[in-house]
Amino acid sequence: MTETVFDRSHVNPALVAASLSASALQPFWLDGLDVPSWPRLTGERRFDLVVVGGGYTGLWTALLAKQRDPDATVAVIEGRTVGWAASGRNGGFVEASLTHGEANGEKRFPKEIEQLNRLGMENLDEIEATVASSGWNCDFERTGTLSVAVEPYQVEELRAAHNGHTELFLDRDAVRAQVNSPTYLAGLWSTRSTALVHPGKLVASLATACAEAGVEIFEHSAVRGLDTGSTKGSVVVETKQGTAIAQRVALATNAFPSLLGRYRLHTVPVYDYVLMTEPLSAEQLASIGWDQRQGLADLANQFHYYRLSADNRILWGGYDAIYHYGGHIRPEYDDRPQSFEKLAQHFFATFPQLEGVRFSHRWGGVIDTSTRFSAFFGRAHQGRVSYAAGFTGLGVAATRFAANVMLDHLGGLTTERTELQMVKTVPPPFPPEPAAYLGVQSTRWALDRADHNDGKRNLLLKTLDAAGLGFDS
Ligand SMILES: Cc1cc2nc3c(=O)[nH]c(=O)nc-3n(C[C@H](O)[C@H](O)[C@H](O)COP(=O)(O)OP(=O)(O)OC[C@H]3O[C@@H](n4cnc5c(N)ncnc54)[C@H](O)[C@@H]3O)c2cc1C
């Protein structure tokens, strides 16, 4: 076993403790965010389309449904508040990839990877065009991503991944001229594939656009179940205080238990943790450079993603991925001191010149991991119900593509999207407990070992790779 660059760095534990001591346990993006609130669903209401879940998937589905048919009556029914979950607490990397990166897509859908890449880029371009034409104030910046090698074996990985004129390979000096870290050995700047956004403002923009288009939004209205037995040709959507009778239903519930029993084991909730610094001073920012403001990510199986906010804070997230036995989602899991300490230590190893910077916010969020690490699509109740989930932590842009797929399905349409293998096939489910827990833990352990062994994958990971279940970031 070899030490990683983060193990080797000797960051003073007192510095780490001090940097976290005043942080608030709250997603920075939702702190003070101006989003309207909406009523509960009460009584009995009828709609052409009911969307369950008020994150990006649900809001895009409702908005695009109104754009396709302005006369349709559309409702979004959200169990808590719009955008409180992953959509309000992510890193804000709006990535073109629909497949959780090109390597994962190439392995799973080799025949259609070029088509998927094109569709993903079109989807990102359309998001950018919508943001611009609608005047959404969501700090959208098409900066691209800079992938950085921090171990010698990763330099060759980057060189091999370099393709296309929109990507720039940067050697050690060139990458440090972009962003100044003593840990960087090389970089690959993918200039068009990614934008950055303020995730909370994107939620607020989407929700406001939905409301302006005539979508009715209901909050604090957890859907308990769907019933097609009692009404002919429609679906009854039940909440504690109200009922919606819908011609069509789109399920956009992400990591939360699927309302379709057959998909309950197709995702597991995995926690990801994030820190946000105070705004950097001009001198602190100058000590790093970062003039092009790219989104950054390092390369191991356990990787960090980081970026600047509009007011020049650094968001620093990733590395640990924590699954709790039974697949529970609980508020107390949002706080995980050992993950935050590890993140802070790795932050100062990367940017030692920022010694003394403090973190203002820390938070956790839940990701809907599927066994193919990218979205899948389900249908039920004679095509009246559509479902999309499984984004596995890369859904800021892909959720809009998924919204279009669900609307194609619900409209009975055959489109380029519905003909994709990625859309037609559903990945294998996870096993039930205790096998799910043991499987996730042993995979995490093996990935950590690979990161400590120049990326070399052990027998377990090779077996999972061969079965199409392996993860390669
Ligand atoms: C910490 C973190 C960092 C991330 N970083 C990135 C990133 O940088 N880039 C990227 O592309 N992706 C990222 N992701 C993933 C991305 O945020 C998600 O893929 C995306 O937000 C999923 O949107 P969604 O609408 O499907 O899910 P969510 O935002 O989770 O919304 C689902 C909604 O459904 C509601 N719901 C569930 N069940 C019911 C029910 N029965 N009745 C009513 N409502 C219900 C929930 O309350 C919730 O509001 C990150 C995720 C996390 C957690």
**In terms of Cα–Cα distance, which of 62, 89, 61, 169 is closest to 401?**
61
Tell which one of 367, 400, 404 to mutate to probe ligand 1, the residue whose CB is within 8 A of the most ligand atoms: 367
Q: Tens digits of per-residue pLDDT, 381-435?
A: 999 999 999 999 999 999 999 999 999 999 999 999 999 999 999 999 999 999 9
The answer to whether residues 54 and 76 touch, using CB atoms and an 8 Å cutoff, is yes
Give me the mean pLDDT over the 320-347 stretch. Answer: 96
Does the pLDDT at position 220 exceed 80?
Answer: yes
Q: What is the pLDDT of residue 470?
A: 63
Mutational pocket test of ligand 1: of 28, 77, 90, the residue with most ligand atoms within 8 Å of the beta carbon: 90
Ligand 1 center to 255 CA (angstroms) = 7
Stretch 174-191: mean pLDDT: 97
**pLDDT reading at 114 higher than 90:** yes
CA of 347 to the centre of ligand 1 (A): 25
pLDDT, tens digit, 9 for 90 and up, residues 221-277 = 999 999 987 777 899 999 999 999 999 999 999 999 999 999 999 999 999 999 999
| Mean pLDDT of all residues belonging to the chain | 94
For ligand 1, which residues put their CB under 6 angstroms from it? 52-58, 77-80, 84-87, 89-93, 95, 222-223, 252-256, 259, 272, 274, 317, 365-367, 391, 393-396, 399
Q: Considering only CA atoms, which residue is closest to atom 16 of ligand 1?
A: 395
Tell me what pLDDT residue 471 has. Answer: 54
DSSP 85: S
pLDDT category of residue 473 using cuts at 50, 70 and 90: very low
Atom 21 (ligand 1) nearest CA:
87
Pocket test for ligand 1, best of 394, 401, 404 (most atoms within 8 A of CB): 394
State the Cα–Cα distance between residues 208 and 360, nearest whole angstrom.
28
Residue nearest to atom 33 of ligand 1 (CA): 53
Taking the centre of ligand 1 as the mean of its atom positions, its distance from the CA of residue 229, in whole angstroms, is 30
Check: CB of residue 314 under 8 Å from CB of residue 359.
no
For ligand 1, pick from 41, 52, 210, 254 the residue to mutate: most ligand atoms within 8 Å of CB: 254
Residues 158 and 146: beta-carbon distance below 8 Å: no
Instruction: Give the pLDDT mean for 154-164.
Output: 86
Give me the pLDDT at residue 164, please: 72
Q: List 386's β-bridge partners, or say none.
A: 250, 379
Task: Kindly tell me if the per-residue pLDDT of 104 is higher than 70.
Answer: yes
- Residue among 464, 473, 466, 263 at smallest CA distance from 376: 263
Contact 361, 275 (CB under 8 A): yes
Tokens of 212: 């302006």
- In order of 150, 237, 238, 288, the CA distances from 351 in angstroms are 13, 51, 51, 8
Ligand 1 centroid–CA 396 distance in Å is 9
- Provide the terminal-to-terminal Cα distance of the chain, rounded to the nearest Å: 20
Q: Which residues of 190-202 are buried (b: 16+ CB within 10 A; e: fewer)?
A: bbbbbbbbbbbbb
Which atom of ligand 1 is least distant from the CA of 367? 53
Distance (Å) of CA 250 to CA 223, 384, 412? 12, 9, 13
Residue nearest to atom 3 of ligand 1 (CA): 90
pLDDT higher than 50, residue 465: yes
pLDDT in tens, 284-322: 999 999 999 999 999 988 899 999 999 999 999 999 999
Tokens read off for 7: 């193990």
Is there a contact between 365 and 27 (Cβ–Cβ < 8 Å)? yes
Query: Which of 266, 396, 405 should be mutated for ligand 1, with most atoms under 8 A from CB?
Result: 396
Task: Give the distance from CA 209 to its chain's centroid.
Answer: 22
Atom of ligand 1 nearest to the CA of 224: 41
Of ligand 1's listed atoms, the one at least distance from the Cα of 95 is 11
Task: Please state, in angstroms and rounded to a whole number, the distance separating the CA atoms of residues 129 and 144.
Answer: 16
Using CA atoms, how far apart are residues 339 and 360, in angstroms rounded to an integer? 16
Q: How confident is the model at residue 441 (pLDDT cuts 50, 70, 90)?
A: confident
pLDDT (tens digit, 9 = 90+) per residue, 355-366?
A: 999 999 999 999
Nearest protein CA to atom 25 of ligand 1, as residue = 55
Quote the percentage of the chain above a pLDDT of 90.
Answer: 85
Answer yes or no: is pLDDT of 463 > 80.
no
